[in-house]
Amino acid sequence: MTVRVLAAGDHFVQNRLFIDALRRAVPGEVEISELTLPWPVTPFGRVGEVDEASDVEDELIEALRGVEVCVTQMAPLTKKVLDACPDLRLFCVSRGGPVNANLEAATAAGVAVTFAPGRNAVATAEHTLAMLLAATRRVPRTHADLAAGVWRGDYYTYDNAGPELEGATAGLVGYGAIGRRVARMLEGFGAEVLVYDPYVEISGQVELDELLHRSSFLSLHARATPETAGMIGAGQIAAMPPGSVIVNCARGSLLDYDALCDALESGHLFGAAVDVFPEEPIPAGSRLLTAPNLVMTPHLAGASKETAAKAARIVAEDVARYVRQEPLKHCANPRS
């Protein structure tokens, strides 16, 4: 029996990637229609009761008429959508977590929700190292000076020179797929790596206080939960050695950004680099826009072509399991 599938891609995980992956995973067994969402040209936001979604409820409802399976990255699975789409049975979110899906309502409606863990682990780990090095070696700032025709020899003074990774101690808060890759990269540079993650069992990990006191480099890789909100604040930053560097390519909620700006302005931190923010886009007037020695990128650590292709492949493989009536591999609500 042919299964009707809606590919609701966007300008990153494109519909052609979903369609190619579906054709390889379930050849001849799916009838595919398309809806293109505006992200990232139009930022995501809160839609109904879900977060980080494209505001396309009405368009999605229309596109889902008679559709059994939806593969997407940013489409909102809200109660409104579920109530209007009784034929829907599987909603595949090509992200590390299905934050744009109302899992409780989906479960009540008998709709399974899957996701794509690890899709951007390599890209985010590589971006983390790039950000760390950019902050440590003043890459954006010195480039801007040169592009403006200014040659500043004072960057070579001792006080302006940054620390090396070789022989340094780097602390990782969070040791999932991304953290483990960052650890291997840092060890390749000759750094000693300390790890704090109460949710994994590994030998040699230390408590957070010890990690902070010993680490000249701190990289955050924890998940956003009520327990991790604001876990790195003024007290934690003050516990780090003077001249340290902090990198956050995980979630904006992990870090107190006012405390970060204070530490940059006081000189306690040599530098910092962040890809995620408490509010996105960054509002006008934010202290982050004027904080010294801060490197920023607009939440694109996971943006690689390979990430998009992996995301499409992971969800297509679960669609294939659904078609074959096999257990789903990455189901967020297995009771559905």
User: Is residue 280 among the annotated active site residues?
Assistant: yes
Instruction: Give the CA count within 13 Å in the CB-facing half-sphere of 64.
Output: 27
SS3 228: coil
The active-site residue, picked from 34, 59, 210, 280, is 280
Residue carrying structure tokens 């001249």: 243
**Sign of the C-alpha dihedral computed for residues 246, 250, 251 and 254 taken in this order:** negative
Q: Are 12 and 120 in contact (CB under 8 A)?
A: no
Q: State how far the Cα of 102 lies from the Cα of 109, in Å rounded to an integer.
A: 11
The active-site residue, picked from 180, 251, 321, 330, is 251
Q: State how far the Cα of 101 lies from the Cα of 109, in Å rounded to an integer.
A: 13
Q: Are 197 and 179 in contact (CB under 8 A)?
A: yes
Q: Are 35 and 61 in contact (CB under 8 A)?
A: no
Q: State how far the Cα of 220 lies from the Cα of 136, in Å rounded to an integer.
A: 16
The active-site residue, picked from 119, 141, 180, 299, is 299
Could you tell me the two tokens for 273? 């680099």
Closest CA to 321 of 177, 117, 118, 112: 112
Q: State how far the Cα of 218 lies from the Cα of 282, in Å rounded to an integer.
A: 23
Residues 6+ apart with CB under 8 A from 305: none
Amino acid at 202: I
**Cis bond before residue 163 (omega within 30° of 0):** no
Residues 6+ apart with CB under 8 A from 231: 173, 208, 222, 254, 255
**Cis bond before residue 98 (omega within 30° of 0):** no
What are the catalytic residues?
Answer: 251, 280, 299
